[in-house]
Structures are given as structure tokens and as C-alpha cells.
Structure 1
């Protein structure tokens, strides 16, 4: 099968498209013919080896984290899916940038019936991130105030819609040109990060979803009320992450130390800090499918590229200017 892969950590120019063995099927897994996949900033971080000390990958490694496609074969113990089902998922181990991928049935869900494969492929990673942050960790309730950083990005654009569905009042940060767009997504308060300081404009928030890390993460403490929650997908990892990835004993001790400073500052203000290590989850994706089919969440796609244009797609994602997601059409 044709696949996009790397044989070493490096940069975008190290991505190759060539033949790779079709992944083998296990008893609880499903083989999917991939129609479309999406490129995430996470893919660039994996490519560059940012996680190699904690989560090393085997080479050659097929890239890609989420996809939509059609079931072509099921394992002997698979009962939830059948050949011909249109599905989507966040990958387990096998990459999405390939003509075929294998995924555990527990990670898989039926694609929303009212959208295309390309739109469905834009959803798994970002919608699961938003769901696990706002529903699972923060348990957002109607009437609460939620700040979502980078509202025009892949995670932000879905998180705004989900938070509004949950009944929250939503603030977000973006650039001036994107203000009408994030307002249409449902944002109530919009901070132009180039001319305004969210730290000065917002206060007494219940939840902050941080997608930026660094100074933005620390400044977010100042907009939260006592008892609030700071959830980050870009900040330093915590104990829960160390338990989830189960590294060697040395890293298991070291990893939580990386977030000691932000956790200490948060604790002094009676704020809870969590690093979100998003996990594949077919049951949650099924709930997201219902929200898409009812019009509560609409996928947001900026550009679509052919498989052969993958390096151009990576370069565009790397600019950080994408509004929503960037899609690869793998096959018809």
C-alpha cells in the first residue's frame, strides 16, 4: 500500500511517500480503507522527534493521527462493525497517512451520516480533545464561564461549539481578521491577542482550555476564580500523563517534575492544573457523531490537499495560520 512515513526524526523534507506493508489484523481490530486524513500540529511534533525520549516510535513510522474511511475487514472478535461501514477514528498505533490502517474497535465510531469523508476526517483528534477536556475533566455545566485559547485553530473551533452546547459562556483569543468567524462559531467574548491582553480583560472564569503553553499558560491562572480548572494540551505533563504512557522508572519520576512550577502556582490559588493526553475513544466519538448530525457541532476545514501534496500541506500547517483543519484526500 502507499503510505507517508519517516525513517528517522527530522523535518518535513524527510517525509517519504512509497510502498509499505499493509497492516496486519488482530482479533479485536478493524482494517479500514482510508479515504481522508487530517494533518495536525501534533504530526509535526512527532516528525521532529519532540516526544522521542518519552514516546519513541518504531521506524519506518507511518504518520497521521485521524482519518475517515470504509471498513474492508474485521477481526474474529469484532462485533460492533462490519465490512462496508463508513467510520472514523483517532489512530491507535498505525498511522492514518496510508491507503489502509488498522484500529481497535474500541477506538472506532460510525462516521456522521450528514457529512463527507473529508469533513469527518477533520474531527477525531480535535473533537476528542475538546470532549475530554470540557466534558470528562472539567465537567462544564450550564452557566459556567470558559476561556478557550486560539479559537480559530483546530481544537479551538470545535471546543467553542462544544462549550456552547454545554451551556457555557465562552471567551476566546484570536486575531482581528478571525473575530467575525469565531463569533459565528458561538464565542461570546473575543480577545484580539495582538492588541488586547486577555489577562486584563477577563476574570472569574471557571475553566481555561490552553492550547499554547508557555507564558499564555501561566497568565491563564489570573483569569480563573478559586476552584477553577486549567487544562492544557501544550503545557508541561503531569502525574496522570506519566501513568498513561508508563515509561521507565526514571522518566516516571522526572515527568511530573516538569509541571511542578505551574501546579504549585495553581495550588496556591486553589486552581486545579491538568495536562490532557488525549486518548482514542470510540464511545465518545459516537456521542460527537450525534452532535454533528443534530447540527450542534460543525466540522471546520480550511484546505484540502491530495496525498501527493502532503509536504505542501505540512508546510501550511506549520505556518500556524490554518482556520480549522487541513485535510489529505488519500483515496476516492
Structure 2
């Protein structure tokens, strides 16, 4: 029996792609200790060196996520930071500069998007980053680098919540809190794409947009108690928790017996699992998995228009502190990104 290889391992012809060697140093946003947004500063730091299966990427744009702000403030992923100054940032879109070997399927010059293993490595608020090859995929051709940078962490989280944990399917009833945020706007689209009946909470200004994304019901959290209009929910995807108006506790009252409650910001409700069990519900938290295979699937969905990314604002690298302040105001629709270098 003959087996067809899954991908080509043909060595590229000489001269097909020319990528100059990276400089010795690069611009990056760093911080010397946890604190408010103004601890972020622009600095000149060494360009990282890839090892083994890593690729070196020139970062064109980087996503700005709530976990970034939480880590900068001393929570989030702070426990994994070995030393300061540190560079934040999990996701990016850019161009491969160095590949592990000549016949690698992502040769120099390839446009890619993905996630770095921050804080085990330097973050993406920098001109270059090293990335494990299993955490990267080809950038969707129809997206700009700024748009693509807004996808990885948020969309991978939404995929894990909706597809891998909730197992979204036709007829299932899913309630998504904070549906207009970075993770939320992908979760609404994916749940709708897989046939679920989606109810999403958001601000009044975002309700028409949430319906356009695929929500069958959109609820203004400021004027309507969702428990007054929602019942018999199979799955709650909670991107808020109990940090605002006991959203998590109230969610348990609208679920069918044995329903699944999924909490992302666990720091806002440490006792969620016990509360869910007492109410006769299943419960779990979720942490994003940087999976290049899923990124490739998401790229196909983005290319086909089945899902889309919405950018609220694009900041320049030196505006990272303002990007964090804007994020912490809590009114970002979709994603914000940093423009790191020229496309």
C-alpha cells in the first residue's frame, strides 16, 4: 500500500523567497514591574533566537487582550514571568523570517498568524517573536495583518468554548455573556454557525450587531434581567462571572437541570464549581490552547465569510498604554490591536 504524504517536503528552489537577516535589537513595549497602564514603556531589546522547532517571525500586528491588562496589573499570567523587564502579548500576525529547516512548510516569507507561549517566552508587543510551529498557521489571505492579529487568542478561546466544550449543535440553547467582546463576538458566530439557538448579552448599542453576528436573542444587560426572559438553557458561556451584578450566580437559575456552565474569568468567582453542583449543574473553566490546526480551520471559516473579525481600533506600538486604558474601560467592540511594523 502506498501512502500519500500529508504535505510536501520538497526543498524550495533557490531564490524563490529572499528575507533579510533580522537586526540584533528591536523595538518592544516592556514593563519593569506590575502596575497601571503607564508602566508600559518603549525600549530597545535583543531580537530573540529561535531554537529547534520554533520559527522567528517579524511581527506586523499584535492582539490586545484582557489577559494582557490583567497580567500587567499583577494578576493573569504574572506567576509565570521569570524576570523583568517583560514584554506582554500572546497573539500576532506577521511574516516568517527563520524556519527550523530548509524544507519546512512555513518557509521564510510566509505570512502567518498564531500565538506565542508567553510568559515562558517574550510576548508579541515587539518587532520579532519566536513561535512554536504547532502554534502557528498561514494567515488568511483575505485579511490584513491587523485583522488577522485580532483572531488567534480570541477565536481559539471561542472555538474551545463552543466546539470542544459545549459541542454546539442544531437545536441547542446557548447563552453567551459579553457577546460583543473579543472572545464573545467569535463565540456568538461559531455557536450560530453550528446551529445552536444563541442568546447574547451586551450593551444597548451592540444589540443590532449581536443579531447580525447570529444571536437569535440579544439582551441589554443594563435594562433587562436576563433571567426574566431566558429559561431552559443548555449551556452558559460566561465571560463575566460574578464581578458584575452576580452574573454567574444568576446564570445558574436559567439553566435546564444538568446543564453546562462554562466560566472563563475564574478569578471573578472562585466558588463557581461548588455553586453549580449545588444547583444540579455541571461546570468547568476553560483556558485557551494555541493549536495551529484549529487556526487553519478558523482561517478557512474566515476566508469563506462564515465568521469575521471586527476591529474596534488599531493603535501604534508606542500607544500600548492607551490601548490598555481603552480596554480596561470595558466598552471595546470586538478586538483592539497594535500596529508593530509596516506590512
* TM > 0.5 fold call: yes
If each structure's helix is expressed as a fraction of its own residues, which one has the higher value? 1
Hey, what does 1:122 align to over in structure 2? 150
Equivalent residue in structure 1 for 2:141, among 107, 113, 121? 113
Contact 1:175/1:194, CA 8 A, preserved across alignment: yes
Q: Hey, what's the Cα distance between the residues in 1 that align with 2:193 and 2:106?
A: 29
Q: Hey, what's the Cα distance between the residues in 2 that align with 1:205 and 1:78?
A: 50
Hey, what does 1:140 align to over in structure 2? 168
Hey, what does 1:211 align to over in structure 2? 239
Contact 1:217/1:235, CA 8 A, preserved across alignment: no
Shift of 1:262: 2.2
Q: 1:178 to 1:53 in 2, by over 3 A?
A: closer
Q: Hey, what's the Cα distance between the residues in 1 that align with 2:212 and 2:147?
A: 18
Q: SS in structure 2 opposite 1:61?
A: coil
Residue-by-residue CA offset, 1:257-313 (whole Å, 9 max, x unaligned):
x84x32222223332111111121111111111110111111110111111222222
Hey, what does 1:153 align to over in structure 2? 181
Hey, what does 2:296 align to over in structure 1? 286
Contact 1:3/1:99, CA 8 A, preserved across alignment: yes
Give the structure-2-normalised TM-score.
0.87
Hey, what does 2:223 align to over in structure 1? 195
Matches within 5 A, 1:309-320: 309-320=319-330
Q: Hey, what's the Cα distance between the residues in 2 that align with 1:78 and 1:225?
A: 53
Hey, what does 2:22 align to over in structure 1? none
Matches within 5 A, 1:159-178: 159-178=187-206
Q: Hey, what's the Cα distance between the residues in 1 that align with 2:327 and 2:260?
A: 29
Contact 2:197/2:216, CA 8 A, preserved across alignment: yes
Q: 1:292 to 1:128 in 2, by over 3 A?
A: same
**Residue 235, structure 1, aligned to residue 263, structure 2:** no
Q: Hey, what's the Cα distance between the residues in 1 that align with 2:91 and 2:103?
A: 20
Shift of 1:51: 3.8
Hey, what does 1:46 align to over in structure 2? 71
Contact 1:68/1:121, CA 8 A, preserved across alignment: yes
Q: Hey, what's the Cα distance between the residues in 1 that align with 2:109 and 2:249?
A: 48
Shift of 1:228: 1.4
Q: Hey, what's the Cα distance between the residues in 2 that align with 1:125 and 1:165?
A: 19
Task: Give structure 2 stretches of 5+ with no counterpart.
Answer: 1-25
Hey, what does 1:254 align to over in structure 2? none
Q: Across the two proteins, how many residue pairs are aligned to each other?
A: 311
Q: 1:92 to 1:220 in 2, by over 3 A?
A: same
Shift of 1:56: 3.8
Contact 2:116/2:124, CA 8 A, preserved across alignment: yes
Q: Hey, what's the Cα distance between the residues in 2 that align with 1:203 and 1:288?
A: 31
Q: Hey, what's the Cα distance between the residues in 1 that align with 2:164 and 2:287?
A: 12
Residue-by-residue CA offset, 1:165-207 (whole Å, 9 max, x unaligned):
1110100111111111111111111111111001221111111
**Residue 222, structure 1, aligned to residue 253, structure 2:** yes
Contact 2:231/2:254, CA 8 A, preserved across alignment: yes
Contact 2:37/2:322, CA 8 A, preserved across alignment: no
Give the structure-1-normalised TM-score.
0.90
Shift of 1:236: 4.4
Q: 1:78 to 1:22 in 2, by over 3 A?
A: farther
